[in-house]
Structure 1
Amino acid sequence: MSGSFANIASSIETELITEVQKVAREAGERLLALYSPAARPRDRAELITAARANESASSAELRAALELIRPQARWAPDQYETSALPAGEWWVVDTVEGNVNHVHGLPEWCVSIALVRDGEPVLAVVRHPVPDLTYSAIAGGGAFVNETPLRVSEKRHLEVAVVATGQAEAGQDGTYRRIGESITAMLGEALLVRTQVPSTFPILLVAAGHIDAFWQYEPTLPGVAAGALFVSEAGGVVTTIAGDPWAPGADSILFAAPGVHAAARDALARVA
């Protein structure tokens, strides 16, 4: 049992998360064996070949291991990446979150695993191998990086906030426009605006209080499911950009510290 969650030992997820951490660590080790900071793909063919090798290495044994430890949970297929999940338990997994970073020798890549129950993330593990970090969260039990609790920022004014956004998928022309307009809107309101891919890392920075808000249009579920639990368990606010409660299938998402959420929402409301 993870020491971080020892105070909620009555929760069935408390024992489950230790097993999920092990699965994520093992997948991360397989990816780490393929990783080199010197990697520089020369063309699209090299990039795709390396990315596929990563997916194969990480996926090996991962799905079978999760299905073994939680047989009643189904594997969320690709068709549910941008739509609501049916009732029940679902594993929502990105076996190589930040694959494009991995194949370019950048350290921002990870293994992301979330268990979603009836549309609500209830357990999440993100394994970030290069700095040897394991992020874990249980609904109602808090969020941690290794054994350190995560807590969102206490800032109360957007003008001193660091905010971020990023794309979810390629080929979304309408989304590109909204990303650009939202960055312009935020440049006039926030202290600093960042863009970053993949979404998991800026979301974790919100949960840890390093940045104050992150938003995304047309998010994919594997990119935000774990993060939604981390931010909410760290004391943050997770809604759509319009301010409605977020749920799988929503066409936008906004993660923010409570003190800047309303101002961030208002700034983004200018984008049609």
Structure 2
Amino acid sequence: MKAELAVATELAQQAGGLIAANLGRVGHVGHKSPVNLVTEVDTAAERLIVDGLTKAFPDAAIVAEETAADSRPAGPCWYVDPIDGTTNFVHGLPHCAVSIALVVDREPAVGVVHDPCKRETFTATRNGPARLNGEPIRVSEAASLADSLLVTGFPYDRCQRLDFYVSFFREFLARCRDVRRFGSAALDLCYVAAGRFDGFWEFGLRPWDTAAGWLVVERAGGRVTDFAGCGFDPWKPQVLATNGRVHEEALAVLAQAASA
């Protein structure tokens, strides 16, 4: 997977240059929903990545957020999010990422998450270590939620079930050191991989949000499941990622909140 990793990394960084140059300078902003934004930079960055992947790997399918949102290919597939954290990007908040993943045989094989604002590139392959700018990274050593800093996000339909989603936030906040909400699931996952956060949970995610970061966490020694504790499926909308040590405790909190 060296060639796939190299191409994905190069394309993510090229798209990142476009994003960094336009941070907070977007003209027209479209709305896929009242809180789900899209810009011409999303579209241009996606086109750059898709064109590059198609040229390098013409036999692989590509599912990209802005153009093929409901496609579910059976064979090898690239999942692309040109800007994960578009709302941050529109507001000039320097926290967003390009996410590119290759899924083969229903398992993530290559993952690249590039933060153009901090110039941080998280990478992983199925049989290799997770890295940040080429250096290996590992998850944290936190042994309990009481010692953990968590991160989460809220889905685009949050206003339809606001009390439901807030109930999960409340249950975790009562048990952990603190909770953050940064607005990029791909970076949230990578921050778990790097030991900056000890755990992450979120509803309503899509494969282009999670596939790359999922692999980075696992190759950094962490654990990623759905809320029932089951393993990787790119189309599962619920994701829990931890350092592994607090995973069972976090699953119990999710189960308790769901049954309340």
* Same-fold status (TM-score > 0.5): yes
Q: Does 1:108 align with 2:90?
A: no
SS in 2 for 1:271: helix
Quote the residue 1:58 is aligned against.
45
Distance 1:103 1:251 in 2: 25
Unaligned runs of 5+ in 1: 1-12
Q: Does 1:124 align with 2:111?
A: yes
Distance 2:14 2:85 in 1: 17
TM-score scaled to structure 2, two decimals?
0.89
Quote the residue 1:5 is aligned against.
none
The 5 A counterparts of 1:159-238 are 159-170=146-157, 173-174=160-161, 176-238=162-224
The 5 A counterparts of 1:148-159 are 148-159=135-146
Q: Does 1:29 align with 2:13?
A: no
Pair 1:28–1:185, CA change in 2 (3 A): same
Cα distance, 1:98 vs. partner?
A: 1.1
SS in 1 for 2:245: helix
Distance 1:72 1:130 in 2: 32
The 5 A counterparts of 1:128-147 are 128-147=115-134
Distance 1:16 1:213 in 2: 28
SS in 1 for 2:43: helix
Aligned residue among 65, 69, 77 for 1:78: 69
Greater Cα shift, 256-265 or 50-59: 50-59
Aligned partner of 1:232: which letter? Answer: E
* Maintained 8 Å contact 1:166/1:179: no
* Maintained 8 Å contact 1:135/1:145: yes
Distance 1:131 1:269 in 2: 36
Quote the residue 2:6 is aligned against.
18
Cα distance, 1:184 vs. partner?
A: 0.8
* Maintained 8 Å contact 1:158/1:189: yes
SS in 2 for 1:94: strand
CA RMSD of aligned residues (A): 2.0
Distance 1:220 1:168 in 2: 10
Rg larger in structure: 1
Distance 2:52 2:221 in 1: 31
* Maintained 8 Å contact 2:28/2:39: no
Give the share of equivalent positions with the same residue, in percent.
Answer: 31
Cα distance, 1:172 vs. partner?
A: 6.4
TM-score scaled to structure 1, two decimals?
0.85
Cα distance, 1:133 vs. partner?
A: 1.4
Unaligned runs of 5+ in 2: 32-36
